[in-house]
Amino acid sequence: MKFKDRKVLVCGMARSGQAAAALLCDLGAVVTAQDLRESIDWAYSPEEKGITPYLGQNPDEIIHEFDLVVISPGLSIYLPFVEKAKALNIPVWGEAELAFRICPCPVIAITGTNGKTTVTTLVGEIMARHNPKTVIAGNIGIPLTSMVKDLSPDALVVAEISSFQLETAAAFRPAVSAVLNMTEDHLDRHKDMETYIAMKARIFENQKHPDYAVLNYDNPITCDMKPKCHTVLFSESTVLETGVYLRNGSIYARLDVKHAGKACIFSEAQTSNTCISSKAPEEVHIAPIEGLNIMTENALAATALALCAGAYPSHIAEGLRAFKAVDHRLQHVATIGGVDYYNDSKATNPNAAIKALESFSKPIVLIGGGYDKKSDFDPWVKAFEGKVAKLIVIGQTAPQIIRTCQENGFSAYCQAKSMEQAVEMAAKAAAPGHVVLLSPACASFGMFKDFEERGNMFTQYVNQIGLL
């Protein structure tokens, strides 16, 4: 699509919406910026950009005036104005689709229920060793539209992509994609698991040879997906005939990777930055897992993605060793009075919270609860056995979580009205040698602006305890 003089409506003026509106203006479009809020904290002056604000009201009455509608990820495709636009044959894109249409360089796109931010960050750091022009963007908190016009064809984008962004995918076609895992999540938005899976699978919908799709062999849903491009599997439990896998405490790869016309077939003796060819792919040792500051599944996925993108084994090993945990994902906050405090605010669904519990051998005082995404908390509560000494529950889902605890015979719980009160209760309940863990198993909406604010408030109140 040519954007000059096209009338474009951008809906939702959070970070991604503002970035999309600014990009469209730079491309010569006539932009109207809509939001239900009457006041927006702008990152720039919309008037100076030439943007017309349309605030405090729905766009239903004006939707027919536009050539294109761009919606933020937080806006459902089932909203009446979106349905009306589609009925009028007006294209409806998300910010990620818009960015892809402009992007001049290859994209590595990563989705899945859990681990997206960690894997995206790790792959970005690995690929930066291979290509210094690598950038990290997407649902990770940096809109791709905010940087895409400054990229060169020899750059590389590593992007976290959510199921919300994939709802509006049209031409989106990454060079390398990944679906890390699939478990129940966002059913308040996607209605059922089948729709949620279908949205995730759209990440490779337009891919074909010579593109690559990376999938989790250990997850029954992702293992059953059928991309129309080269497929690379990774596994923590099985030594694969072809793929990336864990064996004897180390990551190994056995792949025939041909990306961008360059064959990279690694042998076990391959440890330098030189690719060698053979008639059949042989096993190459990447790195031992021990001592890495990352979950094994995430390390395997990142290795597979980086190999598909042409990275050398030595770069991958260096990146794995140097990686530090991302903010709000099992982030160590402090040790106070012999108690370790961890911020895992990014655990916004039960499966992610279960993985956090499995990361500790010490007794856990757990803070959980939040916005109701129609999740099933039964598996999460069952995972408390032998792990959780005390649960402090917060947010909209508190009654449901308490009921689930009662049904499973778990009685060591109490309810807090705020994060400050939850941290105070946790500090009193924890003894030396315990872990206080914020791992909510829920989204943050209702009590907090986002998971980052939730994690930052937890950190703030923990540090206040340390000053007492």
**pLDDT at position 336, please?**
94
Does pLDDT of 273 surpass 90? no
> pLDDT grade, residue 183 (50/70/90)?
confident
User: Over the stretch 397-453, which tens digit does the pLDDT of each residue have?
Assistant: 999 999 999 999 999 999 999 999 999 999 999 999 999 999 999 989 889 988 999
Region 241-256 average pLDDT: 92
The pLDDT, as a whole number, for residue 255 is 85
Topology given in CATH for the domain delimited by 7-90: Rossmann fold (3.40.50)
Q: Is the pLDDT of residue 188 over 80?
A: no
Average pLDDT over residues 205-210: 92
Superfamily of domain 331-467 in the CATH hierarchy: Mur ligase, C-terminal domain (3.90.190.20)
Whether residue 260 is predicted with pLDDT greater than 60 in this model: the reply is no
Locate CATH 3.40.1190.10 in the chain: 97-322
Please say if the pLDDT value at position 229 is more than 90: yes
Asked if pLDDT for residue 116 goes beyond 60, the answer is: yes
pLDDT digits (tens, 9 = 90+) for 28-44: 999 999 999 999 999 99
Instruction: Write down the pLDDT at residue 270.
Output: 34
Please provide residue 343's backbone torsions phi and psi, each rounded to the nearest 5 degrees.
-105, 110
Q: Is the pLDDT of residue 279 over 90?
A: no
132-182 residue pLDDT tens: 999 999 888 789 999 999 999 999 999 999 988 999 999 999 999 999 999
Query: How much is the mean pLDDT over the chain?
Result: 90
Residue 189 has pLDDT above 70, yes or no: no
pLDDT, tens only, 353-405: 998 998 898 999 999 999 988 889 999 999 999 999 999 999 999 999 999 99
Q: Tell me, what's the pLDDT at 271?
A: 33
Q: Assign 3-class secondary structure to the chain.
A: CCCCCCEEEEECCCHHHHHHHHHHHHCCCEEEEEECCCCCCCCCCHHHHCCEEEECCCCCCCHHHCCEEEECCCCCCCCHHHHHHHHCCCCEEEHHHHHHHHCCCCEEEEECCCCHHHHHHHHHHHHHHHCCCEEEEECCCECHHHCHHHCCCCCEEEEECCHHHHCCCCCCCCCEEEECCCCCCCHHHHCCHHHHHHHHHHHHCCCCCCCEEEEECCCHHHHCCCCCCEEEEEECCCCCCCEEEEECCEEEEECEEEECCEEEECCCCCCCCCCECCCCCCCEEEEECCCCCCCHHHHHHHHHHHHHCCCCHHHHHHHHHHCCCCCCCCEEEEEECCEEEEECCCCCCHHHHHHHHHCCCCCEEEEECCECCCCCCHHHHHCCCCCEEEEEECCCCHHHHHHHHHHCCCCCEEECCCHHHHHHHHHHHCCCCCEEEECCCCECCCCCCCHHHHHHHHHHHHHHHHHC
Q: Pick 310 or 273 by higher pLDDT.
A: 310
| CATH number for the domain formed by residue range(s) 97-322 | 3.40.1190.10
- pTM (two decimals): 0.78
**pLDDT of 190 above 80:** no
- pLDDT value of residue 106: 96
Q: Could you give the residue range(s) of every CATH 3.90.190.20 domain in the chain? A: 331-467
Return the pLDDT at 257: 57
- The reported pLDDT for the residue numbered 396 is 94
Q: What is the pLDDT of residue 186?
A: 63
Residues of the chain with CATH 3.40.50.720: 7-90
pLDDT interval class at 345 (50, 70, 90):
very high
Task: Quote the pLDDT of residue 203.
Answer: 97
Q: Which is it for strands 250-254 and 284-288: parallel, antiparallel or unpaired? A: antiparallel
Residue 5 has pLDDT above 80, yes or no: yes
Between 10 and 452, the higher pLDDT residue: 10
Provide the pLDDT for residue 192: 86
